[in-house]
Structure 1
Amino acid sequence: MDEDRVEGAAKKIKGSVKETVGKATGDAKTEAEGNAEKNEGRMQNAVGGMKDSIREAVGKK
């Protein structure tokens, strides 16, 4: 498993928590930051998945 997938999943979780805290406290800035971090994590996870697919296609694991 690519390192980007692990880091991306962690960012996604952290962003979701931050977004939820922002919603609960009514802090729009924290909510927006959490949403952005969640999306960044989602993208990083996708990049890691592509890297894994390429490694499997080439035969390197």
Structure 2
Amino acid sequence: DLGPYPGYQTFPYKEYSEAFFGTEYKVLRGGSWATRPGAIRSTFRNWDYPIRRQIFSGFRCARDA
């Protein structure tokens, strides 16, 4: 679920930040080849509805060789 970190203070415009906290959104982590250069890192976070399909979202399975 998308919720604030402990000690997080919302943006001064509550309708801009608080409206997105709750159980209807899920967190997306990382970037893709289409992500802007300043956000390509494993710590990048975004959000979306779990029912929405995204062409730039997915997951990777990996194991030690």
TM-score range, shorter chain: under 0.3
Larger helix proportion, structure 1 or 2?
1
When normalised by structure 2's length, the TM-score is: 0.22
Give the TM-score of the pair, scaled to structure 1.
Answer: 0.23
- Whose RCO is larger (CA < 8 A, sep 6+)? 1
Larger proportion of strand = 2
